[in-house]
Amino acid sequence: MPRYTVHVRGEWLAVPCKDGKLSVGWLGREAVRRYMKNKPDNGGFASVDEVHFLVRRCKGLGLLDNEDLLEVALEDNEFVEVVIEGDVMSPDFIPSQPEGVFLYSKYREPEKYIALDGDSLSTEDLVNLGKGRYKIKLTSTAEKKVQQSREVIDSIIKEKTVVYGITTGFGKFARTVIPVHKLQELQVNLVRSHSSGVGKPLSPERCRMLLALRINVLAKGYSGISLETLKQVIEVFNASCLSYVPEKGTVGASGDLAPLSHLALGLIGEGKMWSPKSGWADAKYVLEAHGLKPVVLKPKEGLALINGTQMITSLGCEAVERASAIARQADIVAALTLEVLKGTTKAFDTDIHAVRPHRGQIEVAFRFRSLLDSDHHPSEIAESHRFCDRVQDAYTLRCCPQVHGVVNDTIAFVKDIITTELNSATDNPMVFASRGETISGGNFHGEYPAKALDYLAIGVHELAAISERRIERLCNPSLSELPAFLVAEGGLNSGFMIAHCTAAALVSENKALCHPSSVDSLSTSAATEDHVSMGGWAARKALRVIEHVEQVLAIELLAACQGIEFLRPLKTTTPLEKVYDLVRSVVRPWIKDRFMAPDIEAAHRLLLEQKVWEVAAPYIEKYRMEHIPESRPLSPTAFSLESLRKNSVTIPESDDL
């Protein structure tokens, strides 16, 4: 028998349906009837017949036609809301939609698993877990470690030993001993009271990353959680039931307490949850819809779920991966601009960079050589100005290896710290089964990822700063030898005039965002937590900086491709022509002014999905293979030939592909 979970004026009702041929209108009336039955005053209505309402799906928020059949309009056990005429669609029902939530209705349950052991999770793995590409299982070694650490906790409780957070209160209340019969209540109270965050909820991807990372830390076996509870948490992850986690509220010191508490709140069946099946709804109903029961916290388990740096670190993983992607593609975009501005390749000579052998600088110079005019890839544009009287180019072209290079090295440094943090135990107290004891310490302090992510923002921003100056050169006819603002009939048309202003605005905003948050500290918890990292803000603003960098480079990519239109019929090198063709597959040339924002978004999407890299990378790696030992991948932003093949990228056999 189909059953539907219906929300009416703040209450959730389970409504069984004997016949799928009944209508959406019947479901709404039945839900209102049940709502009125539970109210002493019938909810203020004389009868069901006088109630006028709309019905909408919780998933995607689409309105339903009351005459549609249930078997056609809804899936079994779907979540819907009845909105009574005159009522407001209350923000209490959906506190704040995550950005792009409409995309998540396309979620498909994965078939593949990642086995977590707490020691070997990579940034790429976590991002893929966030995208819903894998489910989670534990290794047998991890299961054994978890069981052993729980035995230590059970022994402490049995012997009534006084241990922080297990048989005592928290923070300033560390000296308050809690009676044994109240230890479970202590853990529930901890989760409820610490769920004090504000702001927009994390997107499903980011919440999934946060939950996966917390599972990985628990799998290390130093947290004292029971194997039974951990397996329940994994089941929730695998069902993609995701708690409502506000993005603001952590100071990044005694762990990311507020966001992790919101994460745990959903696990115990309280607060809001989202799943592809339900949309936003009360957590207990979302869990029930997936055949899951709320977690019943045992002593120490609430603390085990909320103490750690997983908010900072999971967002940091996304930041590192996106930074790596845009750093690779920035070299390609800059090379295309250099071609349009008729720059020289001399500044990328191997010997120049060999005498200043920074790893990132050498790699970036190599990429420029692999993409620009050479015997390997001849360029008609380069040939057209081979005998010009220009001696050298502006810094924004000539110094790309030096400027882009240090960004590559910054990313490598930050990725190393974030990867270590991914596989670190960050609880307090720590449970050491081999010693049969717990030890209080400070592994929850977020200074490592906070400092690293501040550094990442400062480093990656430079890609946008130098890109904006190249956009200026493309748009300024006295510098480019191209039509002003890259458009015909200037004056009648404004072309890239304001797109360049947008890039300048984003670069200016980044300058403020790059002020490091980790230099700040405010004492909290009655001076118990008297130095904090402010790492949550470091992570969030690093992501914002990286998004701005992507958008600025998207504008440069469009401007460079538009510049090529004025150099036709001359062609650039084969790999750069492939990049041009990719852009033109989603954005047509500007003949006259048009609505430009969608084109910028389309180019941004190409960079986000790494399409620009995928087009050019095979040529870069083929060039690399033919010039060994001249060059080899020197940074985490470089792909190897083997990794390209694993990702089904075709390696070109000749230049005419």
- Give the pLDDT confidence score for residue 510 in this predicted structure: 98
| pLDDT score of 647 more than 70 | no
Residue among 89, 92, 150, 635 at smallest CA distance from 404: 635
- Give the pLDDT confidence score for residue 105 in this predicted structure: 52
| Alpha carbon distances (Å) from 651 to 375, 576, 647, 648 | 19, 15, 11, 9
What's the CA gap between 301 and 309, in Å, rounded? 17
Mean pLDDT of 38-43: 81
- Give the pLDDT confidence score for residue 88 in this predicted structure: 56
What's the CA gap between 266 and 458, in Å, rounded? 36
Return the active site residues.
164
pLDDT tens sequence across 521-531:
898 887 888 89
Where is average pLDDT lowest: 266-280, 537-551, 558-572? 266-280
| pLDDT score of 92 more than 50 | no
Count Cβ atoms within 10 A of the Cβ of residue 28 and give its class: 0-12 exposed, 13-18 middle, 19 or more buried.
buried
The two three-digit tokens of residue 56, written as one number: 């909408």
| pLDDT score of 566 more than 80 | yes
| pLDDT score of 42 more than 70 | yes
Mean pLDDT of 399-425: 98
Alpha helices in 24-104 (DSSP H): 24-37, 70-73
Judge whether 81 and 56 are in contact, CB under 8 Å. Answer: yes
Judge whether 205 and 245 are in contact, CB under 8 Å. Answer: no
What's the CA gap between 216 and 203, in Å, rounded? 20
pLDDT tens sequence across 601-617:
999 999 999 999 999 99
What's the CA gap between 129 and 361, in Å, rounded? 32
User: Do the bridges between strand 437-439 and strand 279-282 make them parallel or antiparallel, or are there none, so unpaired?
Assistant: unpaired
What's the CA gap between 168 and 27, in Å, rounded? 50
Mean pLDDT of 550-558: 98
Amino acid occupying residue 141 = T
What's the CA gap between 579 and 586, in Å, rounded? 12
426: how many CB neighbours lie within 10 A of its CB?
27
Instruction: Report the alpha-carbon angle 233-235-236, nearest 5.
Output: 65
pLDDT tens sequence across 260-294:
999 999 999 999 999 988 888 889 989 998 999 99
What's the CA gap between 78 and 58, in Å, rounded? 8
Q: In residues, how long is the chain?
A: 657
Judge whether 319 and 456 are in contact, CB under 8 Å. Answer: yes
Residue among 435, 153, 159, 437 at smallest CA distance from 302: 153
pLDDT tens sequence across 204-261:
999 999 999 999 999 999 999 999 999 999 999 999 999 999 999 999 998 899 999 9
Specify the pTM: 0.87
Per DSSP, the residues of 319-352 read HHHHHHHHHHHHHHHHHHHHHHTT--SGGG-HHH
In what side-by-side order are the strands of the sheet with 279-282? Answer: 242-243, 272-275, 279-282
What's the CA gap between 206 and 539, in Å, rounded? 12
pLDDT tens sequence across 369-403:
999 998 888 999 999 998 887 779 999 999 999 99
What is the residue-averaged pLDDT of the chain?
90
Judge whether 305 and 243 are in contact, CB under 8 Å. Answer: no
Q: In angstroms, what is the C-alpha Rg of the chain?
A: 29
SS3 550: helix
More confident residue, 165 or 288: 288
The phi, psi pair for 235, rounded to 5°, reads -60, -40
- Give the pLDDT confidence score for residue 102 in this predicted structure: 46
The two three-digit tokens of residue 597, written as one number: 């924002």
